[in-house]
């Protein structure tokens, strides 16, 4: 069966300037963002169903490749159920952070020794702006990518119609800061990205890494995308240990403003947590949900990496969200746009004037 989509690898300039002086070497250097763009084949595009565009953000150490499993099945579901769905998946975009995956290769020699998680949100907006897609945009983020997805909703309030955040790392108090310091020391011992041979690379990632329990297809996609083999046979990952640790070590400034971020999110949020997860502070889910204006809480079986260890449950969450939140006719498009410009302007100017004076 042929795929209903075409896949393109694209590159855009990252947000400039960055948020920290030492995000690049030298300071002020430009960076690039590499992303995968899955686009529905033109002859399959419906004139009657609402176009949906999904944007995917991964957590630390993970890349755009982990979302291919989900994207393939979401496209297939959309096409297999064309007679019953009011929406149609037209575009899916999976992004590599500037220090991860193919973006890291593109930015080799310019990445600095500091980072701010919010930079990833700015880069997400850069990607979305470059595409200028029509229809309903939905952002989906896991872990650090969950934080960045929500922050992006505050930067561009009309860019995304709703957000699906999976095990987001966004809440932080003093006890969690202490916990993260301990976790970071452990992660520094666990993470490896350089190996004498391809066999040792594969053995580590499949048997010892924190990704070892990934769904097999997802892990295969991830490793195939990450692996670089040198002429001497030595093998390394595109996302270096150092830049993974920088992400873990530099999350503090972003997490400290968690209340401000959440209070400025004005789109519906589906907040997904794993029932067996211990990555985020106990009780933080309720505090996050209480801070959001429009939230649907979902607690499902799984740990922190449930998007890759139990991908079927996340695909179901995404499909349920699209069925419940996407208007098959016009989405959030202004219903008055069919009126002549002058009539529309004067009518609404009068409403504004009378309501403010």
Concatenating the DSSP letter of every residue in 209-267 gives STTTTS-HHHHHHHHHHHEEE-TTS-EEESS-HHHHHHHHHT-HHHHHTHHHHHHT--S
pLDDT given for residue 332 in this prediction: 44
pLDDT given for residue 44 in this prediction: 96
Q: Which residue has the tokens 């872990």?
A: 143
pLDDT given for residue 258 in this prediction: 94
Q: If we measure between CA atoms, which residue out of 158, 163, 180 comes closest to residue 254? A: 180
Burial class (CB within 10 angstroms; exposed 0-12, middle 13-18, buried 19+) of 63: buried
Q: If we measure between CA atoms, which residue out of 125, 170, 161, 152 comes closest to residue 33? A: 125
pLDDT given for residue 337 in this prediction: 58
Share of the chain above pLDDT 90, in %: 87
What pairs with residue 163 in β-bridges? 139, 269
Provide the pLDDT confidence category of residue 1 given band limits of 50, 70 and 90: low
Q: If we measure between CA atoms, which residue out of 177, 176, 127 comes closest to residue 149? A: 127
- CA angle at 99 for the pair 98 and 103, rounded to the nearest 5°: 50
pLDDT tens string 175-211? 777 778 888 999 999 999 999 999 999 999 999 999 9
Q: Which fold has domain 5-172+255-355?
A: Rossmann fold (3.40.50)
pLDDT given for residue 330 in this prediction: 44
- CA angle at 269 for the pair 265 and 271, rounded to the nearest 5°: 120
First-to-final CA distance of the chain: 63
Residue burial 122-151, b: 16+ Cβ < 10 Å; e: rest:
bbbbbbbebbebebbbbbbbbbbbbbbbbb
Q: If we measure between CA atoms, which residue out of 117, 99, 104 comes closest to residue 19? A: 117
d(CA 219, CA 198): 15
Q: Cβ(57)–Cβ(146) under 8 Å? A: yes
What CA–CA distances, in Å, run from 18 to 32, 56, 124, 293?
12, 21, 13, 29
Q: Cβ(306)–Cβ(65) under 8 Å? A: no
What pairs with residue 193 in β-bridges? none
Q: Cβ(265)–Cβ(150) under 8 Å? A: yes
pTM here is 0.94
How are strands ordered across the β-sheet holding 194-195? 194-195, 235-237, 227-229
Look at residue 19 and tell me whether its pLDDT is greater than 60: yes
d(CA 99, CA 109): 11
d(CA 54, CA 93): 6
Look at residue 155 and tell me whether its pLDDT is greater than 70: yes
pLDDT tens string 91-102? 999 999 999 999
């Amino acid at each position: 069966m042929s795929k209903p989509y075409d896949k393109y690898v694209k590159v855009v300039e990252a947000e400039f300037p960055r948020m920290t002086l030492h995000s690049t070497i030298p300071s002020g250097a430009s960076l690039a963002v590499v992303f995968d763009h899955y686009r529905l084949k033109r002859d399959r595009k419906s004139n009657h169903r609402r176009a949906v565009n999904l944007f995917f953000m991964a957590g630390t150490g993970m890349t755009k490749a982990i979302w291919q499993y989900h994207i393939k099945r979401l496209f297939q579901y959309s096409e297999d159920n064309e007679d019953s769905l009011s929406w149609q998946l037209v575009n899916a975009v999976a992004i590599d952070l500037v220090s991860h995956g193919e973006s890291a290769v593109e930015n080799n020699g310019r990445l600095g020794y500091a980072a701010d998680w919010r930079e990833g949100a700015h880069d997400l907006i850069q990607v979305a702006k470059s595409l200028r897609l029509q229809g309903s945009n939905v952002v989906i983020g896991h872990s650090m990518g969950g934080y960045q997805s929500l922050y992006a909703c505050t930067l561009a309030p009309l860019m995304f119609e709703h957000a699906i955040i999976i095990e987001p790392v966004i809440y932080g108090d003093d006890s969690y800061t202490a916990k993260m310091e301990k976790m970071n020391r452990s992660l520094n011992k666990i993470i490896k990205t350089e190996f004498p041979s391809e066999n040792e690379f594969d053995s580590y990632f499949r048997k010892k890494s924190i990704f070892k329990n990934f769904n097999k297809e997802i892990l295969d996609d991830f490793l195939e995308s990450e692996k670089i083999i040198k002429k001497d046979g030595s093998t390394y990952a595109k996302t270096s240990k150092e830049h993974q640790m920088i992400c873990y070590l530099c999350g503090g400034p972003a997490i400290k403003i968690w209340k401000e971020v959440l209070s400025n999110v004005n789109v519906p949020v589906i907040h997904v947590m794993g029932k067996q997860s211990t990555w985020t502070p106990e009780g933080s889910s309720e505090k996050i949900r209480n801070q959001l204006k429009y939230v649907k809480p979902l607690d499902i079986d799984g740990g922190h990496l449930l998007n890759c260890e139990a991908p079927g449950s996340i695909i179901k969450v995404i499909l349920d969200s699209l069925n419940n939140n996407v208007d098959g006719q016009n989405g959030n498009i202004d219903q008055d746009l069919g009126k002549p410009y002058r009539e529309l302007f004067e009518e609404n100017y009068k409403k504004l004037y009378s309501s403010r004076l």
